[in-house]
Structure 1
């Protein structure tokens, strides 16, 4: 799985505002404005954090599994078993990235002025129920076209 995980790390690390760091349990952590949005392990595991409601929807829709170590947390696990799983892993990481990006924008910092979260959400092609939940969660930030 190292090649697939290396591709994920390469792509995510190029997103504006994303820094990489060694994860304390091995692998690579993705950090935006000092907060981790997720991390990957060479064994093909992608872990990421969102809100409780979005996490629950991901689990209900079968798009992720409960976090393998702390299953009751807001973290989820996605397993990359083959190259075919990379796009779904990227989609989940992009969702976590948008969440962090909007949180930082609410503080008046725009790390990625080129990204329009509304457009990105459409590109993610989430299931209708999850898309509606994410949009409701992000609504205030999505309605603002410029940083606070």
Structure 2
């Protein structure tokens, strides 16, 4: 089982998340009642809608995480899953994303801006996620 599939399976069991088709049409996605939270694009690559506000608050910490890639102007972060610790990091960041989505209304233009996959600014892809 790939790291992304293990992470997706764990997250899909959370009561606030459900599986859906991603708006970018690549891979699989999880959403909350307030919108898309995560896009699983490949066996190792995940885009997470952390929100612009959460990225501003956590930016310094996110920049030092080797598994995290920030894209200027994006409210999504890209996460490369290469070890079990990266799954744990993803779990923590999804929890923060859910809190951010519920605590502060996410502006419509941020919701429709699209994930980093749509911006062409993700990690180089090695294996397509067969979902």
Smaller-chain TM-score range? Answer: 0.5 to 0.7
Match of residue 47 from structure 1: 47
Structure 1 residue 15 and structure 2 residue 19: aligned? no
SS of the residue 2:79 aligns to: strand
Equivalent in the alignment of 2:33: 33
- CA shift, 1:87, in A, is 0.5
**Are 1:20 and 1:31, in contact at CA under 8 Å, matched by a contact in 2?**
yes
TM-score under structure 1 length normalisation = 0.57
Listed one character per residue, the Cα deviations across residues 86-132 of structure 1 (whole Å, up to 9, x for unaligned) are 1011111111122234458xxxxxxxxxxxxxxxxxxxxxxxxxxxx
CA distance in 1, matches of 2:53, 2:60: 10
Larger radius of gyration: 1
Q: What is the aligned residue count?
A: 100
Aligned to 2:117: none
Provide the secondary structure at the position in 1 that maps to 2:96: helix
Matched, 1:92 2:82: no
Q: Aligned equivalents of 1:20 and 1:92: distance in 2?
A: 18
In structure 2, distance between residues paired with 1:32 and 1:103: 14
Instruction: Give how far 1:43 is off.
Output: 3.5
Q: CA deviation at 1:17?
A: 3.0
Over the residues paired in the alignment, what is the CA RMSD in angstroms?
A: 2.3
Hey, what does 2:70 align to over in structure 1? Answer: 66
Greater helix share, structure number: 1
